[in-house]
Amino acid sequence: MAVTTDQKTQIEQWHELAQQLRVDSLRCSTEAGSGHPTSSMSAADLMAVLMSKYLRYDFNNPENPGNDHLIFSKGHASPLLYSMFKAAGAITDEELMTFRKFGSRLQGHPTPAIPWVDVATGSLGQGLPIAIGIALSGKYLEKLPYRVWVLCGDSEMAEGSMWEAFQHAGYYKLDNLIAIVDVNRLGQRGETMLGWNLDGYAERAKAFGWHVIEIDGHNLEEIDRAYEEAIQVTGQPTVILARTHKGRGVSFLEDKEGWHGKPIDKDSLPKAIEELGGERNITIEVPKPDPVEAPSRGENKPLELPKYEVGDSVATRGAYGDALKALGAARGDVVALDGEVSNSTYSERFAKAYPDRFFEMYIAEQQMVAAAIGLGVRKWVPFASTFAAFLTRAYDFIRMGAISRANIRLCGSHAGVSIGEDGPSQMGLEDIAMMRAVHGSTVLYPCDANQTAQLVAAMADQNGISFLRTTREKTPVIYSSDEEFKIGGSKVVKQSSNDVATVVAAGITVHEAIKAYEELQKEGVSIRIVDAYSVKPIDVATLIESLQATGGKLVIAEDHWPEGGLGEAVLSALADSGQVSLSDIKVKHLAVRDMPGSGKPQELLDAAGISAKHIANAVRELSK
Amino acid sequence: MAVTTDQKTQIEQWHELAQQLRVDSLRCSTEAGSGHPTSSMSAADLMAVLMSKYLRYDFNNPENPGNDHLIFSKGHASPLLYSMFKAAGAITDEELMTFRKFGSRLQGHPTPAIPWVDVATGSLGQGLPIAIGIALSGKYLEKLPYRVWVLCGDSEMAEGSMWEAFQHAGYYKLDNLIAIVDVNRLGQRGETMLGWNLDGYAERAKAFGWHVIEIDGHNLEEIDRAYEEAIQVTGQPTVILARTHKGRGVSFLEDKEGWHGKPIDKDSLPKAIEELGGERNITIEVPKPDPVEAPSRGENKPLELPKYEVGDSVATRGAYGDALKALGAARGDVVALDGEVSNSTYSERFAKAYPDRFFEMYIAEQQMVAAAIGLGVRKWVPFASTFAAFLTRAYDFIRMGAISRANIRLCGSHAGVSIGEDGPSQMGLEDIAMMRAVHGSTVLYPCDANQTAQLVAAMADQNGISFLRTTREKTPVIYSSDEEFKIGGSKVVKQSSNDVATVVAAGITVHEAIKAYEELQKEGVSIRIVDAYSVKPIDVATLIESLQATGGKLVIAEDHWPEGGLGEAVLSALADSGQVSLSDIKVKHLAVRDMPGSGKPQELLDAAGISAKHIANAVRELSK
């Protein structure tokens, strides 16, 4: 193809910009004494062309609904991203040099502490799956023309989550999504599985329904043509496979092993900069998006939560489905996702009523959580559900979601041994521990349908990552529909002036505690029952008050392993309170301590030692 | 192709067996009142031919080293598996009818409570990745001719972990692995992404380097030919994509929606059995493997652990690498895996010394843990390492590993905020919570190189899932190399007769506690420091003794979120001990409570409130 003078000038400009991005990546990482300059240098040409011509982004208004999204799935290339911010005039060189320093928003890996960063990356294989959520919103919900650009590393192509993303993007025909894979051949400790075998990646991507473009990632014309082609593609996502050199442009770094995640020392820096043509101070105008208006999500209507009659038998998972549907009616911004078990979690009740706001994520829990995070980036209020046990599959995404400051709601059904015959593989027994240990999380475990409904409503307004644990079995409705349940609260279910012990329970064990209460009443013994439905934050004031009223005798019963669950939440809260010295508190902690098998729910509750009779026995022993 | 009389007879026999498997799958699930008969019926023809002609398995000796392995990755098809056990004469019809009943080993999903089951399945997308580990052992370590057969569901093909497995099997050219995908089109709540689009699966599998055979999964001749072809393939794994009908053979079940995970009722059972040609009582002789001898793994040699000088600075992650290498020298059964970060975890020290016993799993943590479990099935002693933060990616596999009774050792490096500049995405801050909440797990967090070495050695002999948490930074060696450290133990690092408080620390905070001790000594204040390196099981006796000697004043300092970590382990142990009533215990729990950023290790320890000065302040406040 003939190249005109204008094109030559443009290419020269792109080259200069790319070299600046390389120099700045080196400078800031050398200044920091750590970081990943070589992984940045391989992608500098790709990003120089992107930001000069194709990315449509208003740095003065990151909330502009027309803005493209740019996600560095290879988050360790943060020096490149931050150097782009400098080149776009968004940060100063002085700020760039604060890279990785204490207090700087330019952290080792990008986080939304920076206004132009949508989500935290740095755990590989997450940026692309999250981008699916953003692209789903653009194509199906907002119907806005923004594109989602994702810079991926080649090492992260080994993560199964990347193939979940390829699969879902293909399935959902996300033609607003363009992945750019920086195939620099070298992983952290040597060559990747495929090295520079671009065809290998190409076959895989095609098999998952993607349009594929293979290029030399240092040939600026090829890059330009690839983007031009990519933005024309309809009906399928595009991946640009770019053959690149790690450390490109510096003789002692380029395509050399042993340079992953290492800055060059201060003495070598001038030589490297010289090889790259010296320092530059180019500022470019990143194209702004055409003005668009964000579509309305409708006025909020009054929320009409389902109401259940006291004494009826209703599974809390069913109440989740009902409440989610009610939320869907009241609020246009509520969306839902499920991992192909919506007829078990009952999210299908939402899905059937609001199919346009429901995304079937099939059995791909990582992608489900990632898509929820991506939908959250676009200010939707996502609820994602599967069995509590299977949320363990997505733990890295949930953990990273906290760093992303994501506002997402998770529902894990089929908690504990009380699911019965399906056996331990299907039992959530570590989910409370897992979810409590997420920064800023909320952990809710209702025992009753009316309580569940109110908590689902509260989750919609809750920031951070919130988790609702539901039960498979039908359980009695014990609260009237006009009782209030707030995050951070608890309910004293039974109390009298002569209670001999406090029983703290949640979910299924509340019902066991009530049965124990009735059993003990026959012996003339009264107990106080605290329904600690808000496991995090926990209502420590009520716990203290109850303990003080019951001589410090405490029974905790939970359908969960003993580690990290309700029991430890209670102990920790008491210890942290500073209000009690734990004086004279005697504790019996009933939890699942042996590996369960199959059986009827009640058989398994009995076998685990968390049923009514065990609660009653624990009270008897404590009050001896 | 002409079919001879003998072939006709054989095919008729296979058909009869397949119908029996269907009938028995229905009978046992109807008796149980739950289970997955329709998912069993789709694969009955596939399994009838396999067990009659191709599977080589000695049911009288499941330890026979020549036995093939058969893994039901679609574990919910357990009625089919158990019906096969009956047809093989391994269990009685009476036992089959105990399916899903309390106390029966025939649980809802298969577990190794059954001697012919290698691993627990039931969380989809795990059987195939685990099979990779078994196949790696057969091909590269044991060099035995056994084959690994895996029955996969089509719904689970949506899991990224399946594509990690496809990728690794292709990369490692596992021609002893044959996956059979039962493409019955219907997932739990409707059609799968690809439905009966076998070509779609075929393209994907080919792109990952597999030999692909597409068949009608109810045509017994095609099934036979497919297996015949599969066992001839060399240099690559084979997948048989079988188009099947869920509920095959019963008019009101076949290819019908709404029948996932549901038994038919007792009234409908006779009609279904009649359609399937009635009950049969066929017992078949499963072919036995040719006699082979398991290769020797060598005599154990004396273990010569690395020794470090007190006062030297050594990172515990480095000591892990050294000790693993020493173990490799002493024991021929120790193998190692890493998630492409071996130069950070230092498992590369083993890899370089024993490359034949090291498997690079690239950035695919699910596959890494799964392969470790598979290697454990073959009685290797696997150690798998990556950053502690990234083990969250494999949590579902770890959880299921406990149900599999797997003996695996995990090492998570780069724990806590003390990693410094890389920022929160790389910091393990929930790993202790996650690993404690695994049934039967061991959680170790050493502070010193000599201690690390001894604990690594102890892990080799530890059953269940053990986890070692290591630190990025170099820390002073504080223990002489002849001190002993046992799982379940602790060390009192500082003590006197007038200690005002007990400080419980582990890993990096032990060093902060020692600095606090020195600071407080200047004020004439003495503290007792307990190094709780064994977080689970924890040395509760020493904790109680120390608390009793220090007036119940307790400071806990940990580089972890407050939930589920060392602090809660200590509180839980004290509460459970029954030996103390927690009387007069006053606690200050120092943990990471705000989201960290980047910075120098000491800056981040200070900012998190877990450094020496905060420990000293906590002691001062408690002893006011």
pLDDT tens profile B397-454: 999 999 999 999 999 999 999 999 999 999 999 999 999 999 999 999 999 999 999 9
Which of A39, A132, A159 is the mutation pick for testing B, counting most B CBs within 10 A? A159
Which of B386, B387, B582, B622 is the mutation pick for testing A, counting most A CBs within 10 A? B582
Identify whether residues A108 and A81 lie together within a single domain.
yes
B7 — pLDDT class (breaks 50, 70, 90): confident
Read off the pTM.
0.98
Between chains, do A425 and B389 touch, taking CB under 8 Å as contact? no
What confidence score (pLDDT) does residue B585 get? 75
- Here the CATH number for the domain that contains residue B332 is 3.40.50.970
A578 — pLDDT class (breaks 50, 70, 90): confident
Helix A5-32 with A78-87: angle, nearest 10 deg? 120
Identify whether residues B146 and B234 lie together within a single domain.
yes
Identify whether residues B228 and B123 lie together within a single domain.
yes
Catalytic residue positions of B, numbered? 365
Who among A123, A420, A430 is closest to B425 (CB)? A123
What confidence score (pLDDT) does residue A585 get? 75
Q: Check pLDDT > 80 for residue B3.
A: no
Who among B125, B341, B569 is closest to A188 (CB)? B341
What confidence score (pLDDT) does residue B584 get? 62
- Asked whether residue A308 is assigned to any structural domain, the reply reads no
- Asked whether residue B481 is assigned to any structural domain, the reply reads no
| d(C-alpha A331, C-alpha A325), whole Å | 10
Q: What are residue A325's DSSP bridge partners?
A: none
Domain ends where: A476, A504, A527? A476
B143 — pLDDT class (breaks 50, 70, 90): very high
Question: From A108, which residue of chain B is nearest by alpha-carbon distance?
Answer: B422
Between chains, do A163 and B160 touch, taking CB under 8 Å as contact? yes
Q: What is the pLDDT of residues A581-599, one digit of tens each?
A: 555 678 999 999 999 999 9
**CA B34, B36, B38, B40 torsion-angle sign:** negative
Between chains, do B187 and A124 touch, taking CB under 8 Å as contact? no
Identify whether residues B85 and B212 lie together within a single domain.
yes
Q: What is the pLDDT of residues A506-527, one digit of tens each?
A: 999 999 999 999 999 999 999 9
What confidence score (pLDDT) does residue A577 get? 87
Domain ends where: A437, A453, A476? A476
ipTM of this predicted structure: 0.97
- Asked whether residue B113 is assigned to any structural domain, the reply reads yes
- Asked whether residue B302 is assigned to any structural domain, the reply reads no
From the number of C-beta atoms within 10 Å of its C-beta (0-12, 13-18, 19+), residue A497 rates as: exposed
Q: Check pLDDT > 60 for residue A301.
A: yes
Identify whether residues A331 and A260 lie together within a single domain.
no
Q: Are B534 and B488 in contact (CB under 8 A)?
A: yes
SS (H, E, C) B507-567: CHHHHHHHHHHHHHHHCCCEEEEEECCEEECCCHHHHHHHHHHCCCEEEEECCCCCCCCHH
Between chains, do B104 and A597 touch, taking CB under 8 Å as contact? yes
Between chains, do A437 and B430 touch, taking CB under 8 Å as contact? yes
What confidence score (pLDDT) does residue A4 get? 73
Identify whether residues B61 and B126 lie together within a single domain.
yes
Tell which phi-psi region holds residue B93, choosing left (phi > 0), alpha (psi between -120 and 50) or beta: alpha
Question: From A169, which residue of chain B is nearest by alpha-carbon distance?
Answer: B193
Task: Write the CA distances from A450 to A304, A312, A418, A467, A468, integer angstroms.
Answer: 12, 11, 20, 17, 14
Q: What is the pLDDT of residues B102-137, one digit of tens each?
A: 999 999 999 999 999 999 999 999 999 999 999 999
Who among B124, B348, B563 is closest to A437 (CB)? B563
Identify whether residues A114 and A171 lie together within a single domain.
yes
- Asked whether residue B295 is assigned to any structural domain, the reply reads no
- Strand locations in A260-402, DSSP E? 313-315, 334-338, 358-360, 381-387
Please report, for chain B, how many H helices and E strands are present, in that order. Answer: 22, 19
Contacts with A123 from chain B: Cβ below 8 Å: 389-390, 393, 425-426
What confidence score (pLDDT) does residue A378 get? 98
The DSSP string of B137-194 is: IIIIIS-----EEEEEESGGGGSHHHHHHHHHHHHTT-TTEEEEEEE-SB-SSSB-SS
Identify whether residues A512 and A471 lie together within a single domain.
no
| d(C-alpha A430, C-alpha A564), whole Å | 8
Task: Write the CA distances from A122 to A57, A400, A477, B135, integer angstroms.
Answer: 23, 9, 45, 32
Between chains, do A122 and B425 touch, taking CB under 8 Å as contact? yes
Q: Check pLDDT > 80 for residue B583.
A: no
Q: Are B122 and B75 in contact (CB under 8 A)?
A: yes
Cβ neighbours of A572 (radius 10 Å): 26
Smallest CA-to-CA distance from B107 within A596, A413, A388 is with A596
Domain region containing B503: 491-623
- Asked whether residue A58 is assigned to any structural domain, the reply reads yes
For B7, what's the count of Cα atoms within 13 Å in the CB-facing half-sphere? 9
Q: Are strands A313-315 and A474-476 parallel, antiparallel or unpaired?
A: antiparallel
DSSP letter for B391, please: G
| Preceding omega of B601 cis (within 30 degrees of 0) | no
Cβ neighbours of A302 (radius 10 Å): 6
DSSP letter for B114, please: S
Q: Are B538 and B486 in contact (CB under 8 A)?
A: no
Q: What is the pLDDT of residues A303-348, one digit of tens each?
A: 999 999 999 999 999 999 999 999 999 999 999 999 999 999 999 9
Identify whether residues B389 and B513 lie together within a single domain.
no
| d(C-alpha B529, C-alpha B513), whole Å | 7
Who among A163, A200, A403 is closest to B424 (CB)? A403
Identify whether residues B445 and B512 lie together within a single domain.
no
DSSP letter for A392, please: G
A535 — pLDDT class (breaks 50, 70, 90): very high
Domain ends where: B476, B511, B527? B476
Rounded to the nearest 5 percent, the helix, strand and coil shares of chain A are 40, 15, 45
Q: What is the pLDDT of residues B18-68, one digit of tens each?
A: 999 999 999 999 999 999 999 999 999 999 999 999 999 999 999 999 999
- Here the CATH number for the domain that contains residue B502 is 3.40.50.920
- Asked whether residue B546 is assigned to any structural domain, the reply reads yes
Question: From B157, which residue of chain A is nearest by alpha-carbon distance?
Answer: A363
Q: Check pLDDT > 70 for residue B349.
A: yes
Q: What is the pLDDT of residues A109-140, one digit of tens each?
A: 999 999 999 999 999 999 999 999 999 999 99
| d(C-alpha B393, C-alpha B376), whole Å | 20
Between chains, do B421 and A589 touch, taking CB under 8 Å as contact? no
Which of A154, A367, A399, A419 is the mutation pick for testing B, counting most B CBs within 10 A? A399
- Asked whether residue B159 is assigned to any structural domain, the reply reads yes
Between chains, do A402 and B575 touch, taking CB under 8 Å as contact? no
Amino acid at A494: K
**A to B CB pairs, distance under 8 Å:** 359
Identify whether residues B519 and B470 lie together within a single domain.
no
**B532-552 average pLDDT score:** 96
Task: Write the CA distances from A463 to A103, A376, A381, A440, A456, integer angstroms.
Answer: 24, 11, 10, 9, 13
**CA A445, A450, A456, A458 torsion-angle sign:** negative
How many domains is chain B partitioned into structurally?
3
Identify whether residues A219 and A337 lie together within a single domain.
no
Residue B556 φ/ψ, nearest 5 degrees: -115, 130
**CA B256, B261, B265, B270 torsion-angle sign:** positive
